[in-house]
Amino acid sequence: MQYDKRDLSEAVLLKLYKDLQRPRMIEEKMLILLRQGKISKWFSGIGQEAISVGVTNALNEEEYILPMHRNLAVFTTRGIPLHRLFSQWQGKMNGFTKGRDRSFHFGTQDYKIIGMISHLGPQLGVADGIALGDVLQNKKAVTAVFTGEGGTSEGDFHEALNVASVWSLPVIFCIENNGYGLSTPTKEQYNCENLADRALGYGMESHIIDGNNILEVYNKLKKIAEELREKPRPVLIEFKTFRMRGHEEASGTKYVPEELMAEWGKKDPISNYERFLLKEGILTDEKIEALRVEIENEINENLKLAFEEEEVQSEPDQELQDVYASFEYEESNPGSVVEHIRLVDAISKGLKQSMEKHSNLVIMGQDVADYGGVFKITEGFMDAFGKERVRNTPICESGIVSAAMGLCINGMKAVVEMQFADFVSSGFNPVVNYLAKSHYRWNEKADVVIRMPCGGDVGAGPFHSQTNEAWFTKTPGLKVAYPAFPYDAKGLLATAINDPNPVLFFEHKALYRSIYQNVPADYYTLPFGKAAKLKEGNDITIVSYGAGVHWALGTLEKNLDISADLIDLRTLAPLDMASIYTSVEKTGKLIILQEDSMFGGIASDISAMVMENKFQYLDGPVKRVASMETPIPFAKKLEDNYLPKNRFLIALKELLEY
């Protein structure tokens, strides 16, 4: 192996050596502890340390790195106290996730490290968002993100590279090509000679680097990082390397040919570099021994601290509290001037006022800039706020949701417009696994609002008509708003944007231009988790949201003899069960109307909670009315039959007569 030390000082050369030795010796200790049953699992990076050490040393301490589970050296090189890492691996409180996650599934703003999730791909888009935040805040900084060669097969990889290229983001995409995705060799994973060749299709610069040569990694990455700080653009790096142990220890390496293992064993990044430093007179056997003793003592002292730490105790109240970032709602009251406007206008005006209020707020979505979005919500926004803050995106929902997470990690706010709520399925993974879980896992807010134009009764068929709120009310960590009126939409949207937690904000397309209301012209907020009582009555409680509220209102207006409480939920997570309970205690009967299909919808949970908690007040069964258990059809008569609005009165009268 050839080393080029260039003009590197002896201090730098020795630091690189120490940074290589520390993670190797920690791993060797962890493998012993694994066999002793003192840790539960281990993903080895033995043989790949030079990549993590070189990249981390090439970046400045304030620049973000997004590593994976073989990048222990990123964490140790950044100087994270070892006892905290050991506590993390043992699931103890002094780790970074309070025992809620293991391994390297965590981040820490103190060390500008954003850890992985097991789904791999989203972190590439998160790196895009962090880098975009640097560009928008005029920081001369780069972001480095890691993936394995297996992860490059995921759609998120291609989405992230494309977005980074189109937006000229200073991201260094680091592929650790170690030959195997678990046991699957590269020849069964991709059909190009080098993964770096893929950069050409995205108009990106790429490099192939010997990932076992610490000086080649460090020197080239340092030069690339310096260039990117001055001229932002993405670069794809393929590091050729090999892992000398299994995917994780239980996997073993029997699938690897012995001659291949022997060949790469000769390329060990530490022993080869050590021989080079000995030859150069920079290291001596005495220095090596002294360094190993120093590191071994450091490991043992920190292990003692971790082992002496008490096991995590379950505190249910604390667990529930940590699902969401703390948010103190601030009521903002408008002046007396009102405008008689449509739902679509209220959302647009509310969004614009939030853009004026929050200079760090960025809107992203397909066609949201010049075109103003397919529903014209953001028409004129680009002229008002600039193309940097109102950003057209490629068609890549997963990559953009992930980028929104990256923006908020880097101190920004984001609103993402799904062109149609149906299309969120293409970005489902980062919504439910990254946005929803980050605060609970490692105390990181996800200051993202995802706008969801939804709903049927518009003749748009199965892919542009869904009302899929139940996908998200099921997921702890997400908030869900679903206003039915312009007044509520404007105020709730302002609150959603103020809230540091991820919010799915549903906007019914059929209501956009059909529902008018007097709405304050000024900025104002409305609280989440507070339903609105639209009608007062004694015989029955009607609960609904979205378009269902208007169907229920229409039914009551045509049947004036029905005395009902009509409750508009407005938000589904948090859900105002207190208002429902109070009404049911008075009326004794409850019917829930939802546009979503019946099974697994919000009505089912409301029904269950009322039955469990207020059964003694009921004078009849709780009734649910919902759409048919089919996809939403296109033809008018089919869609009319699918939707529950024409069946609601029948069910309502049946319950009243019970």
Q: Which amino acid is at 341?
A: I
Asked if residue 192 lies in contact with residue 267, where contact means CB atoms within 8 angstroms, the answer is no
Band of residue 402 on the pLDDT scale cut at 50, 70, 90 = very high
pLDDT digits (tens, 9 = 90+) for 364-382: 999 999 999 999 999 999 9
CB-side neighbour CA atoms (13 Å) of 386:
8
439 φ/ψ sector (left φ>0, alpha ψ -120 to 50, else beta):
alpha
pLDDT digits (tens, 9 = 90+) for 166-222: 999 999 999 999 888 878 888 888 899 999 999 999 999 999 999 999 999 999 999
Asked if residue 542 lies in contact with residue 569, where contact means CB atoms within 8 angstroms, the answer is no
Rounded mean pLDDT, 144-172: 96
Report the interhelical angle of 122-136 vs 155-166 (nearest 10°): 20
Asked if residue 162 lies in contact with residue 202, where contact means CB atoms within 8 angstroms, the answer is yes
| CA–CA separation, 141 and 41 (whole Å) | 35
- pLDDT given for residue 493 in this prediction: 98
| Nearby residues of 549 by Cβ (< 8 Å), 6 or more positions away | 484, 485, 534, 566, 568
Rounded mean pLDDT, 67-92: 95
Asked if residue 332 lies in contact with residue 525, where contact means CB atoms within 8 angstroms, the answer is yes
Would you say residue 244 has pLDDT above 80? no
- pLDDT given for residue 178 in this prediction: 87
Asked if residue 26 lies in contact with residue 76, where contact means CB atoms within 8 angstroms, the answer is yes
Would you say residue 270 has pLDDT above 80? yes
Would you say residue 251 has pLDDT above 90? no
Range with the poorest average pLDDT among 50-54, 152-156, 486-490: 152-156
Catalytically annotated residue among 69, 83, 158, 464: 464
| Nearby residues of 596 by Cβ (< 8 Å), 6 or more positions away | 467, 468, 469, 470, 602, 603, 626, 627
Closest by Cα among 500, 499, 364, 504 to 438: 500
pLDDT digits (tens, 9 = 90+) for 11-47: 999 999 999 999 999 999 999 988 888 887 788 889 9
pLDDT digits (tens, 9 = 90+) for 453-510: 999 999 999 999 999 999 999 999 999 999 999 999 999 999 999 999 999 999 999 9
Task: Please state the separation of Cα 137 from the chain's center in Å.
Answer: 21
pLDDT digits (tens, 9 = 90+) for 418-433: 999 999 999 999 999 9
- pLDDT given for residue 445 in this prediction: 96
Structure tokens at 510: 């059929």
- pLDDT given for residue 118 in this prediction: 84
pLDDT digits (tens, 9 = 90+) for 513-549: 999 999 999 999 999 999 999 999 999 999 999 999 9
Rounded mean pLDDT, 440-455: 97
Closest by Cα among 589, 592, 591 to 618: 589
- pLDDT given for residue 586 in this prediction: 98
Structure tokens at 246: 């299994």
Asked if residue 594 lies in contact with residue 545, where contact means CB atoms within 8 angstroms, the answer is yes
For 248-271, give the DSSP string. Answer: STTT-STTS-HHHHHHHHTT-HHH
Decide: helix, strand or coil at residue 310: coil
| CA–CA separation, 48 and 491 (whole Å) | 52
Residue with tokens 């853009």: 355
Angstrom distances, CA of residue 391 to CA of 394, 409, 434: 10, 18, 22
Asked if residue 458 lies in contact with residue 510, where contact means CB atoms within 8 angstroms, the answer is yes
Decide: helix, strand or coil at residue 566: strand
Q: Which amino acid is at 485?
A: F
Asked if residue 252 lies in contact with residue 246, where contact means CB atoms within 8 angstroms, the answer is yes
Q: What is the dihedral of CA 189, 192, 195, 200, to 10 degrees?
A: -140
Task: Name the pTM for this structure.
Answer: 0.96
| CA–CA separation, 226 and 224 (whole Å) | 5
Question: Percent of the chain at pLDDT above 90?
Answer: 88
Beta strand pairing status for 503-508 and 479-481?
Answer: parallel
Q: Beta-strand (E) ranges in 102-247?
A: 107-108, 113-114, 143-148, 171-177, 180-181, 184-185, 205-210, 235-240
Q: What backbone torsions phi and psi does residue 600 show, to the nearest 5 degrees?
A: 80, 10
Answer yes or no: 464 catalytic. yes
Closest by Cα among 326, 325, 573, 317 to 444: 325
Band of residue 573 on the pLDDT scale cut at 50, 70, 90 = very high
Would you say residue 227 has pLDDT above 80? yes
Band of residue 263 on the pLDDT scale cut at 50, 70, 90 = confident
- pLDDT given for residue 216 in this prediction: 98
Q: What backbone torsions phi and psi does residue 71 show, to the nearest 5 degrees?
A: -110, 40
Residue with tokens 């060799």: 185
- pLDDT given for residue 483 in this prediction: 98
| CA–CA separation, 559 and 64 (whole Å) | 62
339 sits in which H/E element: strand 338-342
Name the burial class of residue 334, with classes exposed (0-12), middle (13-18) and buried (19+) by CB atoms within 10 angstroms of its CB: middle
**How many other β-carbons are positioned within 10 Å of the β-carbon of residue 279?**
10
- pLDDT given for residue 111 in this prediction: 97
Closest by Cα among 161, 138, 34, 22 to 78: 22
| CA–CA separation, 91 and 100 (whole Å) | 7
> How does the average pLDDT of the chain come out, rounded?
95
- pLDDT given for residue 621 in this prediction: 97
